[in-house]
Amino acid sequence: MKKANRIKRNEDFQTIFKHGHSTANRQFVIYSYPKKDQAHFRVGLSVSKKLGDAHLRNYIKRCLRHVMMEFDANQLIKHDVDIVIIARNPAATMTYHEMKSSLEHVLKLAKVYQHRSK
């Protein structure tokens, strides 16, 4: 994922948690915060140590980044939004394709996923 699409600073995370809107399903919690002055979406990931060891947490983050890159390549995410994705416990046992469909579901609930017909 491009550096411009990442949220890394704690201040940015705290702003999104405080002012953003949360949406959840069993596997993920999404905080979305609209920003009118940016040309692309940004994503921050949070995977708790409760989910497993470093290897598993990094695997989950890699899968989530890859899913978001796919959505970005197909222009499926609104570009004027900041998103924080928090993985819940069931995400630790999911395959890549299960994560993709679950993340798509929760992004649709959060109204940041836009379906493009070809």
| Domain-wise residue ranges, the chain | 3-109
* pLDDT tens-digit series, residues 55-86: 999 999 999 999 999 998 888 888 889 999 99
95 contacts 58 by C-beta, under 8 angstroms: no
Return d(Cα 41, Cα 34) in angstroms, integer.
9
Q: Are 113 and 104 in contact (CB under 8 A)?
A: yes
Parallel, antiparallel or unpaired: strands 21-24 and 28-34: antiparallel
Q: Which CATH number fits domain 3-109: 3.30.70.100, 3.30.1510.10, 3.30.930.10, 3.30.230.10?
A: 3.30.230.10
Please tell me the pTM assigned to this model.
Answer: 0.91
Whether the CB-CB separation of 7 and 20 falls below 8 Å is answered with no
SS3 112: coil
In tens, the pLDDT along 6-57 reads 999 999 999 999 999 999 999 999 999 998 888 888 999 999 999 999 999 9
